[in-house]
Structure 1
Amino acid sequence: MILHSTEALKRYTESGHWGRRTLRKMAAKAPERPAVVNPADRPDLTGTAAQSLSYRELSAAVDAIATGLLDMGLRKDESVIVQLLNVWELVAMFLVVSHAGGVLAPMPIQWRANKFQNVKKFADARFFFGMRDFKGANRLAIAEKSGFVALPIERIAEIARGAVDAARLDASVVDGNDIFTLCWSSGTEALSKGGPMSHNNWLFQMNLISQTAGLREGDRVLATAPVVDTTGVATWLASLAIGGTTLLHHSLNMPLLVKQLMQDQVHFLLLVPAVLNIILKLPNVDQLDFSGVRCIASGSAQCSRWSMGEFKRRWNIEILHTWGQTEGTAVFAGARDVPDFAKRADHFPWWGRPSVAWPSGIRGVEMTLFDEADAECTQPGQGAELVYCGPTVFAGYYRQPDLAKSTFTPDGFCRTGDFFILRDAHHIGVFDRKKDIVIRGFNLSVAKVENLVLTHPGVQEAAAVAVPDEIMREKTCIYVVPKDKAQLPTLEAVIGHLKQIGVAAYKLPEHIEYFDTIQRNPVGKILKAQLRQRVRSAAA
């Protein structure tokens, strides 16, 4: 299934960024090296034992399962749906479905009936692999009701022990421009859209991560994000690109996470900024030894300079500041391109800037900022929407051609919907989502407010949203998870702290609410739509 335009295929093939190579089977330089290691708490998650598969064992399992799919009648370019935890079967299915000539369309484990119908409509898939029971819901029953041929996770391991038909697998021709995955947008605001990514899209993305994070052959990568969305898939594929070992971690199990970082020789992982802050505020943080970790990627929200500095000071860990979307757009600020970690918190390299060569060696990506009239911003301090073009960008939302005009500019740049600021001649910085701005004379980024509030010692987590105001138009409401419920940080205390560290008056919050936890979607993004609705209802 080739979806990219003739122009894109010609452009990136001639530039050498796209080729015939695929992800069907990645040859390992060390076949006996562990390829994927199940989460240690798998027995509690699935009732089955945790295990580790070498590259040789994973390759054999992929061949057998792919043969099994062909026996079931899988057709060329047909989508296969999986809804699994971070276990080896999920990782294997990416290679399996492609090897059999299909396209994998993984779903977050949290999704229920209404999302099943949405996926069924757009993917037009027959086969579903999932869990009989997880947290009180029978995913197989929901899938069957939605019209899928539903198979349990146990079936994957069973087929993996079956016969291999190498001739039939070799007859399934897959090109580098064929679609490898169909990932779904996180869907915090509306029904999810399918983002098709080709083998070439992913191969370029894998190299972006390995180059900017400084990954080395055989590194051990801890996959903390669900390997069903772009973030989790990219983390696993970055490990595959270097012949590394992928250590799986499902959901956020803080005791297990800390144990893995201290005992499992982890070199690279991804954590959302909120988790970085949680770790730094653990009571025993001074006793933790994460010295084996070289780099942590952090995205979904803006990192704070404080957390980046603390990880560098305590354990000499570099934070790779990341920004990316399901659409394949991505930019990373690492130690090579932005060596000053304090600057790295809000500066991204302006990839594609004429006559600028980056130490990471990234080429082929073009980025610019367009205002509402689609005029290019050229002066430092200007803020506008980031538009992006490069070998990682998808061909458009799957089976939704009506969205093409709002997704792409006439010359093929992807409209990201995110505000960035032109920092200087070489750097841009995230400002915020268009809807995550407080408009009160100044356009105030709620991410900036959140990071400032997090510097208060009594705040464990923070989220900020705009609340309507008759005079100022909008004011800022903060939702806070206190570090100690017995000593709630009052609004006055938070404002006093912010004034003490020199925060401008217009950035100070005007209202505060307290939560035991802040709800997030499967990739760690705060569910801002719910918070905005809550605060607007209260204001009304």
Structure 2
Amino acid sequence: MAELTQAAAMITVHEFHGFGHPAMAEEVRRKVPSLKKIYTYEDVRRMMEEKPNPSLNLLHIDADDIFTLCWTSGTEAQPKGCPLSHNNWRCQAAIALASGMQPSDVMLTAGPLVNMASVGTVYVPWLRFGGTVVLHHPFDPQLLLKQMVQERIQYTLLVPAVVNMILKHPAAQGVDLSSIRVITVGSAPPSLWSMQEFKKRWNVDIGNIWGQNEGTALVSGVEEVPDMAIRVDHLPRYGAPGVEWATSMARFVQTKVVDPDGTELTENGAVGELLYRGPNVIPGYFRRPDLNAQAFDADGYFRTGDLFQIAQGRYLKFFERAKDIIIRGGYNISAQEVENVLLGHPAVQDVAAVGMPDENLGERTCVYVVPKPGQTVTLEDLTGYMKDQGVATYKLPERLELVEAIPRNPVGKILKKELRRDIRDKLGVSP
């Protein structure tokens, strides 16, 4: 990152969990000639107490200058820099209001301030509209619940695994979460079970948000999609002909769904890659012109790499990341659908589904499951439960791997690549 950005300075913590970060920074400085200054947070606090240099007033900041440079989380590839300007963020903050947050809210961010999840749904809206931000990192479930209660949190963004953990954690029973008005779930769609449970126990509404560091954002909040059964997996189809949304900025955003040849799909039920265009999207990856030709189409739409299905004309249903689709004998299985159903199983704490190689069908579904403490889980338990939920037979998992934890990156996304490699190794199949 230092080499790509030609960074002039680095700010870091003096020590964390026994690791000396300044020493690491010095090592980077020896390799990157542009890196001249290294500061710790103690240095920054000291500077804040000093009289500012008058020459700083001569610096010109333009609304189209880069405000943040977030990096893709890299579950499948090397991270890429996503530069967003002040103007980009002004638009993005307005779109975030569709989640149900309100100016002056007390907002909690449960993840690190490194990407769209926390920066885009909590930090920048706080800068734009005011309120209070409560930080939480590294993740501690009991501390998270304590903060929600003591700080009287009104809005937060969580990932599905944390939402389900709260519902199944013994410490959450009887906890007063009455201050919370809305929770937005990101990184993957929530399960209907979790939405119903939060509403029943605490009268808390859960919204559904899909977004990327590149600036794309579809927000399914209570105002936009009041029906919970629809909100669980439907997102606004911004730019759909004749459709209006409560979110004011939505009128400036356009989406389209295309087939592998780039032909736009418009009929209900059609599945294709989502392309997205709007004033909240990066103009291109930072100093990577080699990537931009493939990242945008001829009309300036960003290729998201995610598959969506057109529903009822006005909605988009997240189908899957293209590489996470399990193709069993020609039938497409959404790993996310399998995971969301199984998260409702009373003995399942966490779950991930991946395709495993099969000579006859191409792929079959393997699920990695973390059982709740003191519970036992069998494949027959899981398939029986899914059948009771009305899931089609071809979508049922055909192998179970019991694990202590699902591997995730620092922002909560499941590292499917590791799981696919693990099951290939166990089957003795080469990549």
What range is the shorter-chain TM-score in?
over 0.9
Q: Using the alignment, how far apart are the partners of 2:101 and 2:377 within structure 1?
A: 40
Q: Using the alignment, how far apart are the partners of 1:356 and 1:189 within structure 2?
A: 35
Q: Using the alignment, how far apart are the partners of 1:467 and 1:213 within structure 2?
A: 36
Aligned residues: 419
Q: Using the alignment, how far apart are the partners of 1:527 and 1:207 within structure 2?
A: 31
> Which of 376, 384, 391 lines up with 1:503 in the alignment?
391
Q: Using the alignment, how far apart are the partners of 1:139 and 1:194 within structure 2?
A: 22
Query: What stretches of structure 1 of length at least 5 have no aligned partner?
Result: 1-118
> Which of 356, 370, 376 lines up with 1:467 in the alignment?
356
Q: Using the alignment, how far apart are the partners of 2:292 and 2:247 within structure 1?
A: 32
Cross-structure match for 1:14: none
Q: CA deviation at 1:170?
A: 2.6
How high is the TM-score relative to the length of structure 1? 0.76
Q: CA deviation at 1:138?
A: 2.2
Cross-structure match for 2:41: 153
Q: CA deviation at 1:402?
A: 0.7
Partner AA of 1:335 in structure 2:
V
Cross-structure match for 2:101: 215
Partner AA of 1:451 in structure 2:
N
Q: Deviations over 1:297-344 (max 9, x none)?
A: 111012111111111222121212011111111111000111001110
Q: CA deviation at 1:284?
A: 4.5
Cross-structure match for 1:518: 406
1:477 to 2:359 alignment: no
Partner AA of 1:448 in structure 2:
E
Q: CA deviation at 1:395?
A: 1.0
- Map 1:124-523 onto structure 2 (within 5 A): 124-147=6-29, 148=35, 149-165=37-53, 167-210=54-97, 212-234=98-120, 235-361=122-248, 362-440=250-328, 441-484=330-373, 486-523=374-411
Higher strand share: 2
Q: Confirm or deny: 8 A CA contact 2:126 2:133 kept in the other structure.
A: yes
Q: Using the alignment, how far apart are the partners of 2:79 and 2:101 within structure 1?
A: 32
Q: CA deviation at 1:286?
A: 3.7
The CA RMSD measured in Å over matched residues stands at: 1.3
Structure 2 counterpart SS, 1:395: coil
Q: CA deviation at 1:136?
A: 3.8
Query: What stretches of structure 2 of length at least 5 have no aligned partner?
Result: 30-34
Q: CA deviation at 1:259?
A: 0.9
- Greater shift, 137-146 or 516-525, is seen at 137-146
Q: CA deviation at 1:219?
A: 1.1
Q: Using the alignment, how far apart are the partners of 2:57 and 2:104 within structure 1?
A: 28
Q: Using the alignment, how far apart are the partners of 1:348 and 1:134 within structure 2?
A: 39
Q: Using the alignment, how far apart are the partners of 1:276 and 1:404 within structure 2?
A: 36
Q: Using the alignment, how far apart are the partners of 2:15 and 2:147 within structure 1?
A: 27
Q: Using the alignment, how far apart are the partners of 2:242 and 2:382 within structure 1?
A: 45
How high is the TM-score relative to the length of structure 2? 0.95
1:120 to 2:6 alignment: no
Partner AA of 1:524 in structure 2:
G
Q: CA deviation at 1:225?
A: 1.8
Partner AA of 1:294 in structure 2:
R
Partner AA of 1:134 in structure 2:
F
Structure 1 counterpart SS, 2:375: coil
Partner AA of 1:445 in structure 2:
S
Q: CA deviation at 1:498?
A: 1.1
Report % sequence identity.
44
Q: CA deviation at 1:364?
A: 0.4
Q: Using the alignment, how far apart are the partners of 1:215 and 1:271 within structure 2?
A: 14
Structure 2 counterpart SS, 1:206: helix
Q: Using the alignment, how far apart are the partners of 1:175 and 1:195 within structure 2?
A: 18
Q: Using the alignment, how far apart are the partners of 1:363 and 1:226 within structure 2?
A: 31
Q: 4+ residue stretches of structure 1 with deviation over 6 A? A: none
Structure 2 counterpart SS, 1:435: helix
